[in-house]
């Protein structure tokens, strides 16, 4: 079990590397783990983002999350997608997670993006519905 915990801890460190670096630059000398950053989102957005990483692997998950953020944002605030969740992406996730209505809207977009290429998307939609229902 310790090996499993260590694996996921390192996995989220890699997946959230840019956001970690941004956090550490702002908080000089204070290191943070990727899993801690997701935990700081304080609601189902963090859980859904973590679940997206688990389900899709970090490279595909980053694309799904960033495309979801871009669809959620007004056109003038959209950004280029890249290979990591950076501090700007993380700040947007924090803003979204701070409000149930924003969370609900983002989670619906994330669900749609996660199911676009699924042959049978019913199970994937059920996974996201769990997070949406918990916001009610």
Contact 84, 63 (CB under 8 A): no
Task: Give me the pLDDT at residue 58, please.
Answer: 83
Backbone angles phi, psi at 81, to 5 degrees: -85, 150
Rounded Cα gap, residues 18 and 135, in angstroms? 28
Q: What is the pLDDT of residue 120?
A: 67
Name the token pair of 122.
Answer: 């019913």
Taking the chain (136 residues) in runs of 10, the rounded mean pLDDT of each run is 80 85 84 86 85 86 93 89 85 93 92 80 72 72
Q: What is the DSSP letter of 77?
A: G
d(CA 29, CA 39): 20
What is residue 92's predicted lDDT score, i.e. its pLDDT?
93
């Amino acid at each position: 079990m310790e090996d499993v915990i260590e694996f996921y801890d390192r996995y989220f460190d890699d997946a959230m590397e840019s956001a970690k670096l941004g956090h550490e630059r702002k908080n000089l000398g204070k290191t943070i783990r990727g899993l801690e950053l997701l935990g700081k989102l304080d609601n189902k957005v963090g859980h859904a983002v973590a679940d997206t990483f688990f389900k899709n692997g970090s490279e595909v998950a980053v694309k799904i999350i960033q495309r979801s953020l871009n669809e959620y944002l007004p056109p003038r605030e959209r950004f280029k997608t890249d290979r990591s969740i950076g501090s700007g992406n993380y700040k947007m996730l924090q803003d979204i997670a701070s409000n149930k209505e924003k969370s609900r809207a983002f989670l619906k977009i994330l669900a749609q993006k996660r199911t676009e290429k699924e042959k049978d998307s019913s199970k994937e939609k059920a996974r996201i519905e769990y997070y949406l229902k918990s916001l009610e």
